[in-house]
Structure 1
Amino acid sequence: MARILVAEDEAAVREFVSRALTHHGHEVTTADDGAAALLLLQNEKPFDLLLTDIVMPVMDGIALALKVGKEFPDLRILMMTGYAAERQRAYNLDLLIHDVIAKPFTLDEICEKVAETLTF
């Protein structure tokens, strides 16, 4: 299937998403903030998708998406957030990201949105 990098600072959400996507056959790597995710992107073999939270310490998802857009223009980006105001900030990145999924989401919802992003 796909190599997916999940950047999420909340351990429970990170684990939930990782397990869900692994169960659907994807190879998942996780990072607990945007800076760690950027290091993985720069030092690992290429990923097919970056699934990132918007609100994170060190480097948030918006800053991460802007860096990734410049350094890895072919990488698909899907964002997630529990904050309505942050969701609006992400929509200003229409050319860089595929979509924003609102938390909380179900296992089926995140897997469907990932599948949609990968086939877009």
Structure 2
Amino acid sequence: MSSTSRHSKKTGPPNKVHRKVLLVDDNLDLLELVIDFLNFLGHEVIAARDAEEALERLKAIPDLQVLISDVTMPGMSGIELAHRARQMYPGLRVLLVSGRADLVAAQGATQYFDFLPKPYRIADVEAYLAHL
């Protein structure tokens, strides 16, 4: 096999839907783990460690399909980030993740955005991405 054909193959499983995802979480270990899994599954993942960094990334990625953000982060919350992202890109799909479902519900975020409680399984994220 030539080196060209070896490098042109996708690393993810065949017949999967591939998305361009902005992943935001201040837990760097979790961020890296989820990036690795989603990349393996064939998704293009752009990472940010907080909402401010995510907003900068959003400005540079007009073809982004999905924002996945932790809710509780220092500075701007994931919910505020989600609202700002939707102002920039009204059709953007948003998945909020948090161990504080009560906080997310209290702020009414689930009527505007999808929600997945932490701890979550990567299979749940993959199922979400596959059914958009």
- Name the TM-score class by shorter chain: 0.7 to 0.9
Flag the structure with larger Rg: 2
> Contact 1:78–1:114 at 8 Å: present in 2 too?
no
- In the alignment, structure 2 segments of 5+ residues that lack a partner are 1-17
Q: Paired residue for 1:65?
A: 82
Q: 1:22-52 CA distances to partner (integer Å, 9 max, x unpaired)?
A: 1110000100001100110012342110000
Give aligned pairs, total.
115
User: What is the TM-score of this pair, normalised by structure 1?
Assistant: 0.86
In structure 2, how many angstroms separate the alpha carbons of the residues matched to 1:114 and 1:70? 21
**RMSD of the TM alignment (CA)?**
1.6
In structure 1, how many angstroms separate the alpha carbons of the residues matched to 2:26 and 2:85? 18
- In the alignment, structure 1 segments of 5+ residues that lack a partner are none
Q: Paired residue for 1:110?
A: 125
In structure 2, how many angstroms separate the alpha carbons of the residues matched to 1:92 and 1:51? 14
User: What is the TM-score of this pair, normalised by structure 2?
Assistant: 0.79
The alpha-carbon distance between structure 1 residues 112 and 69, as it changes in their structure 2 partners (threshold 3 A), is same
> Contact 2:82–2:94 at 8 Å: present in 1 too?
yes
The runs of at least 4 consecutive aligned structure 1 residues that moved more than 6 Å come to none
Q: Tell me which amino acid in the other structure corresponds to 1:38.
A: L
Identity %: 29
**Offset of residue 58 of structure 1:** 2.0
In structure 2, how many angstroms separate the alpha carbons of the residues matched to 1:32 and 1:19? 15
Match of 1:104, SS state, is coil
